[in-house]
A and B are shown apart, each in its own frame.
Chain A
Amino acid sequence: MAGFKQVTSPAVLLTVNDIDTDQIIPARFLTTTTKVGLGQKLFNDWRVDPGFVLNQPAARNAKILVAGHNFGCGSSREHAPWALLDFGFRAVVATSFADIFTNNALKNGLLPVTLPPEPHARLVEQARSGEPITIDLERLMVILPRRDELLFVVDAFARRCLLDGVDELGYILSFHDRIAAYEARQ
Chain B
Amino acid sequence: MTQTLFDKVWQRHVVHQEPDCPAILFIDLHLIHEVTSPQAFTGLSTRGLKVRRPDRTVATMDHSTPTSKLAVVDAQAQKQLDTLVTNCKAHGVRLYELGNERQGIVHVIGPELGLTQPGMTIVCGDSHTATHGAFGSLAFGIGTSEVEHVLATQCLLQKKAKSLEVRFEGRAGKGVTAKDLILALCAKIGVGGATGHVIEYRGDAVRALSMEGRMTVCNMSIEAGARAGMVAPDDTTFAYLADKEFAPKGRAFDEAVTSWRALATDDGALFDRSVSVDVSALEPMITFGTNPGMGMPITAPVPDPEALVGSERAALEKALAYMALKPGKPLLGQKVDVVFIGSCTNSRLSDLRQAASVMADRKVAQGVRTLVVPGSAAVKKAAEAEGLDRIFRDAGAEWRDAGCSMCIGMNGDQVGPGQYAVSTSNRNFEGRQGPGSRTFLASPLTAAAAAVTGVVTDVRTLMGS
Contact = CB atoms under 8 A, between A and B. Distances in A.
Contacts of B125: 76, 78
Contacts of B435: 26, 45
Contacts of B15: 175, 178-179, 182
Contacts of B410: 27-28, 30-31
Interface residues of B, number: 65
A82 B382 CA distance: 41
A2 to B, nearest CB: 13
B80 interface: yes
Nearest to A168: B157
Contact of B155 (A20, A27, A172): A172
Contacts of A129: none
Interface stretch (B20-28, B105-113, B260-268, B363-371): B20-28
B191 interface: yes
Contacts of B436: 45
A175 B24 contact: yes
Interface string A148-180: 000000011100000000001101110110110
A33 B45 CA distance: 14
A6 interface: no
A33 B38 contact: yes
B157 to A, nearest CB: 6
Interface string B125-168: 11100000000000001111110110011111101010000000
Contact of B408 (A23, A27, A33, A98): A27
A53 interface: no
A73 interface: yes
B461 interface: no
B99 interface: no
B143 A76 contact: yes
Contact of A107 (B24, B38, B145, B291): B145
Interface in A97-152: 98-100, 103-104, 107-108
Interface in B417-465: 427, 429-432, 435-436
Interface stretch (B209-217, B273-281, B298-306, B311-319): B311-319
13 contacts: A28-B409, A31-B73, A70-B195, A74-B127, A77-B36, A78-B36, A78-B39, A78-B125, A107-B146, A155-B22, A156-B20, A169-B152, A173-B153
Interface of B: 15-16, 20-22, 24, 26, 35-36, 38-39, 42, 47, 63-64, 73-74, 76-77, 79-80, 83, 125-127, 141-146, 148-149, 152-157, 159, 161, 191-192, 195-196, 222, 225, 227, 291, 293, 311-312, 314-315, 318, 408-410, 427, 429-432, 435-436
